[in-house]
Amino acid sequence: MLRTIFLLSLLFALSNASVQDFCVANLKRAETPAGYPCIRPIHVKATDFVFSGLGTPGNTTNIISAAVTPAFVAQFPGLNGLGLSTARLDLAPKGVIPMHTHPGASEVLYVLDGSITAGFVSSANAVYVQTLKPGQVMVFPQGLLHFQINAGKSSAAAIVTFNSASPGLQILDFALFANNLPTELVVGTTFLDATTVKKLKGVLGGTG
């Protein structure tokens, strides 16, 4: 009898549970595994659901000749709790987004301008590479290493979307050479020689 009453009470509670339309992030509070706390609805504005940063090309004057302009929850609070985000990629000639992974999301890339060679490596080490033209789309499954390279002689641009408001990012080259991981450990785990490792650490600002 008690079990029946409990189940009925649970069903009643679920049927009357309030459903939030949105949860605009309160960026002044700490992020949790479930996202940011919500701003009170009375303080939410239409501009919380608008982001204008993707209309301007990023600065590609850097070591990779590329730029990523993110519209993640930290830049676009209206995404909080919605399970999606977006970004703009700009690649100068010879520009590259190095091998990287998004631990928290799959990615869809839509080419706006130019030509981009993109690809990913599966957990079985199968390689999938395609050169994309404007209007073409490619998907990169969650957690897999992938890259984008400008395949043309002019600048290229793309929009990427993720099925997470905070997809995360780890760039393989930076993880190996842009920190204080000791050279001997990098040598032992990558089969590179110490001279090459130290050179790459010097280029990317690593130590050790």
State yes or no: 100 annotated in a binding site. yes
Task: Label each residue of the chain as H, E or C.
Answer: CHHHHHHHHHHHHHHCCCCCCCCCECCCCCCECCECCECCHHHCCHHHHCCCHHHCCCCCCCCCCEEEEEECCCCCHHHCCCCCEEEEEEECCCCEEEEEECCCCCEEEEEEECCEEEEEECCCCCEEEEEECCCCEEEECCCCEEEEEECCCCCEEEEEEECCCCCCCEEHHHHHHCCCCCHHHHHHHHCCCHHHHHHHHHHHCCCC
State yes or no: 107 annotated in a binding site. yes
State yes or no: 102 annotated in a binding site. yes
Binding residue numbers for Mn(2+):
100, 102, 107, 146
Could you list the residues known to form a binding site for oxalate, using ranges: 102, 107
Q: Binding site: what residues are annotated?
A: 100, 102, 107, 146
